[in-house]
Amino acid sequence: MSVSQAVSPFLSWFQSPETGRRAEAASALALAYLYGDLDAQELRGAEIALTAALDDPSPVVRRALAEAFAGAEQAPRHIIVALANDQPEVAAIVLSRSPALRDADLVDCVAVADPYAQAAAAIRAELSEPVCDALAAVGGREACVAMSINPGARIAPAAMARLIERFGADAELREALLARRDLPHGLRHELAVAAARALSEFVVRAGWLSAERAERLARESRDKSATIVAAQANGATLDLARHLRRAGHLTPGLLLRALLSGDRAFFASALADLADVATARVQGLMRDPQSAGFAALCERAGLPSALSPALRAAVAASRGFVGAPDGRLSLTIVSAVVDACEAAGGEAMGKAMGLLRRFEAEAALEAARDETLRAAQAEAEEEARARTRRRNRSDAAGAGRCGDARRRRASRLRGFRRR
C-alpha cells in the first residue's frame, strides 16, 4: 500500500463541516497513532493527516489534538512544536506538560508567547536553568510568580536577581521567592530592600510622610532586614557582607546594629571585607577593642571616627552574648553602650549618639512588647488551668450524685424483695 493510499482514509475523517466531528476525528486519530496497532505505512499516513489538521481553521480541532498529544513522549515533535506556537489556549496545553518539547523549544516559545502561554510553561514539573533564565528575562508577571512558586524550577541566582530587578515591587513575587530554600542570603536582603522601597514610595504618594522621613524609615528597615538575614546566614556571613558592600548597603550604622544585636560573627565578616583582611585577624583584634590595632582596623575599613567609641563599647558589651535568630537589638547591650558613651562624653559624638538613642528606644519597645506578650500568655495559661480545675470539680460532683442515685435505687430494690 502506498503512502497516499494510507493517508486517504484518515484525511476523510476531517472532511466533516461540523467542528465537533473534526475535533473528535483529531482526538481519535491521535490516540490511534499513539496506542493503535498500526503498521509503518499506516503510521506515516496518520502522521501526515494529523499534520494537515494543524491547518484546521477552528482552534477547537487543534485543541483536541493538543490534549491528545500533550502527555505523550512519542508524539510527533513537529506537531508538538507547532501546537506550542499556536494561539494561547492551544499552546498552553502542550507548553505545560509535553515531554516532547526540548529546552531550546521552550526558550523559543517563551520569547514570543503571550503571558498566558508563558505561565503555562512556568508550571511544568521540571524547568531547567536556561528556560528559567528566559522566563526571568522576558516572562510576564504571572509567569514569573508561577515559576518562583514551582519547586521543580531550577532558578539560578542571576535569574532570581533579574526577577527582583523587574518585579521587586510586587508583593506576590517577593513572597514566592522568599519561600524558596535556594534563595541566597544576599537576595533575601534585596527583597526586603525592594519591599521597603515600595512601602516608602506608597506613603510618600499618599502624603502620609515626607520624602525625607520615608527615606530614613526605609533605610532603617533595610538595616533591620540585613541583621535578620545575617542572624540566619549560618556561616555565609562573609558572602552576605560582600553582597551588601557591592550594593552600597554595608554602612557603619548597619555594623553598629549588628553588634548591638549580638551578632559578632557578621560584624567580624563585614569588617574583614571592608578592611580587606582575614576574618580571623579581625576576630583576634576584637578581643581587645580598646587596642590601637582595633582602632587602626576600623580606620582602614573606612568607619567614621565619631562612631569608634560606640563600636568599641559594643564589641566589649556583646562578648559572650548569643544573638537572637530574628536579629533584634539587645536592650542589655544597647544600654551598656549608651552608658559607656555617655561616661566618655557622649555629647561630642553628635549624630552617633542620636543613632544610639534611637536604637535604645527601639530595643526598649521590643522588650516591652515581649513582656506584654509573655504576660498575656501567662494569663491565658492560668485561665486554661482554672477552667480545667472547674471542669474536674464539676465532673467529680456529677459522679458523686450518680453514685448516690445508684445507692438509693439499690436500697429500694432490696426493700421490694423483702416484701
Contact between 244 and 255 (Cβ < 8 Å): no
Examine the pLDDT at 99 and tell me if it is beyond 50: yes
Q: Is residue 172 part of a domain?
A: no
In this prediction, residue 287 has a pLDDT band, given cuts at 50, 70 and 90, of: very high
Contact between 73 and 66 (Cβ < 8 Å): no
In this prediction, residue 113 has a pLDDT band, given cuts at 50, 70 and 90, of: very high
Number of folded domains that form the chain: 1
Q: Is residue 149 part of a domain?
A: no
Per-residue model confidence as pLDDT tens digits over 114-147: 999 999 999 999 999 999 999 999 999 999 999 9
What is the per-residue pLDDT for 185? 86
For helices 77-84 and 88-97, give the axis angle rounded to 10 degrees.
Answer: 130
DSSP label at residue 37: -
Per-residue model confidence as pLDDT tens digits over 150-160: 999 999 999 99
User: Domain containing 95: what range?
Assistant: 1-101
Query: Average per-residue pLDDT in the chain?
Result: 86
Q: Which three cell numbers mark 370?
A: 515581649
Out of 210-214, 226-230, 343-347, 415-419, pick the least confident.
415-419
Contact between 68 and 52 (Cβ < 8 Å): no
More confident residue, 3 or 173: 173
> Would you tell me how many other CB atoms lie within 10 Å of the CB of residue 414?
9
Q: Is residue 71 part of a domain?
A: yes
Q: Is residue 72 part of a domain?
A: yes
DSSP label at residue 170: -
C-alpha span between 166 and 95 (Å, rounded): 24
What is the per-residue pLDDT for 415? 57
The domain that contains 28 carries what CATH number? Answer: 1.25.10
Examine the pLDDT at 248 and tell me if it is beyond 70: yes
What is the per-residue pLDDT for 353? 85
| Residues 324, 239, 337: CA angle, nearest 5 degrees | 40
Q: Which three cell numbers mark 167?
A: 518585579
In this prediction, residue 409 has a pLDDT band, given cuts at 50, 70 and 90, of: low
Q: Is residue 34 part of a domain?
A: yes
In this prediction, residue 2 has a pLDDT band, given cuts at 50, 70 and 90, of: very low
What is the per-residue pLDDT for 6? 46
For residue 185, what are the β-bridge partners? none
Q: Is residue 9 part of a domain?
A: yes
Backbone angles phi, psi at 177, to 5 degrees: -70, -40
Q: Is residue 376 part of a domain?
A: no
Q: Is residue 243 part of a domain?
A: no
Q: Which three cell numbers mark 162?
A: 533579574
Enter the pTM of the model.
0.69
